[in-house]
Amino acid sequence: MGLVTLKEILKMHDGAVGAFSTYDQYSAQGIVQGAEELSLPVILMIGSGPLNKPGNDYVGQIMVQLAKEASVPVCVFLDHSKDDKTCLKAIKLGFSAVMIDGSHLSLEENIAITNKVTEAAKALGVSVEAELGALAGIEDGEEVKQAKMTDPEHVEKFLSKTDVDGLAVSIGNAHGLYKGEPKLDFERLQTIAGISGETPLILHGGTGLTLAQFAKGVELGIKKINIGTEVKKTYIEAFIDTHEKNVSSYDMVEIPQACKKAVAEMVKEKLEFFANGWRELV
Ligand code: 13P
């Protein structure tokens, strides 16, 4: 199937599509492998921070290559770019979707930067995600202390003045590990879903949410769920476990393979639930 846009992938089934953060070749391969083993579409994403690290254009190139060779639909996605320059860089690398995150700006400024990126992206057939409201937690290595829930009135205005393929919402979700039990404002989500119409809604901060919360979110119209921290945790725990089994070997061949496999297993569990399993909990 290969490389597809966000617009295309979010229409492929009536659940939500899992979007997983990648950082290197092995996590990227694990994510695609998990999707292939289930024959389900997947979104392979990298944050603008990791993509902009020296030498990491190669990770972007690997992501695009993996998507092109995959037996399932794969959207290659730039996550949380606050500037149009990184969006253009990702588009040049061959990404099929970018997120321009103007959620820290005023509504007018957010609309303006979103339109600037959308104009360039759409001319090249690339999808765009935007965000309204702000999530607390660690985003691209930087701490956002103050969350701001998405204002439904802003949703109406924003969507009438932009042409985005997905809208990320802030309903109590947070990036990174939750401090205490996460509480999501489903009433707010329902109101937003009543306004957003055909525009798919996106849930960031998937690590640490419960299956019941995922299911309710999907029922109310969430079409893409982002998982970042859980990829890192799965990968690093597999790395440490495998190394500790034979400390003196420093096995640079088998350790990354174990990390890849562990990521693939985690991805399978999530993808299956987001696509199908959620129905049993609503
Ligand atoms: P988590 O790290 O909390 O899973 O969030 C990932 C995310 O939303 C990336 O945009």
Contact indicator for 197, 167 with CB cutoff of 8 Å: no
- pLDDT band at 140, cuts 50/70/90? low
CA of 225 to the centre of ligand 1 (A): 9
Partners of residue 227 on adjacent β-strands: 20
CA of 197 to the centre of ligand 1 (A): 25
Model confidence over 246-268: pLDDT tens digits?
999 999 999 999 999 999 999 99
Q: Tell me, what's the pLDDT at 141?
A: 63
The full length of the chain comes to 282
Model confidence over 186-198: pLDDT tens digits?
999 999 999 999 9
Q: Which residues line ligand 1 (CB under 6 A)?
A: 21, 79-80, 175-176, 204-207, 226-230
Closest-lying ligand 1 atom to the alpha carbon of residue 174:
3
Mean pLDDT confidence for 141-170: 90
Contact indicator for 11, 34 with CB cutoff of 8 Å: no
Domains in the chain, ordered, with CATH? 2-281 (3.20.20.70)
Q: For a ligand 1 pocket test, name from 20, 27, 175, 184 the mutation site with the most ligand atoms within 8 angstroms of its C-beta.
A: 175
**DSSP string spanning 40-82?**
--EEEEEEHHHHTSTTTHHHHHHHHHHHHH-SSEEEEEEEEES
Q: Tell me, what's the pLDDT at 165?
A: 98
CA of 135 to the centre of ligand 1 (A): 10
Model confidence at 142: pLDDT above 90? no
List the structure tokens of 91. Answer: 């588009």
CA of 231 to the centre of ligand 1 (A): 10
Mean pLDDT confidence for 172-192: 94
Catalytic residue among 14, 24, 57, 79: 79
Q: Tell me, what's the pLDDT at 138?
A: 66
Model confidence at 11: pLDDT above 90? yes
Measuring from atom 6 of ligand 1, which residue has the nearest CA?
Answer: 228
Percent of the chain with pLDDT strictly greater than 90: 93
CA distance 60 to 1: 19
Model confidence at 137: pLDDT above 80? no
CA distance 172 to 56: 32
Least confident piece of the model among 92-96, 97-101, 131-135, 278-282: 131-135
Model confidence over 26-62: pLDDT tens digits?
999 999 999 999 999 999 999 999 999 999 999 999 9
- pLDDT band at 139, cuts 50/70/90? low
Q: How many CB atoms lie within 10 A of CB 200?
A: 21
CA of 53 to the centre of ligand 1 (A): 19
Measuring from atom 10 of ligand 1, which residue has the nearest CA?
Answer: 204
- pLDDT band at 147, cuts 50/70/90? confident
Q: Tell me, what's the pLDDT at 144?
A: 66
Measuring from atom 5 of ligand 1, which residue has the nearest CA?
Answer: 205
Write down the mean pLDDT value for the chain.
96
Q: Tell me, what's the pLDDT at 179?
A: 86
Q: Tell me, what's the pLDDT at 145?
A: 64
| Active-site annotation holds for 79 | yes
Model confidence over 52-81: pLDDT tens digits?
999 999 999 999 999 999 999 999 999 999
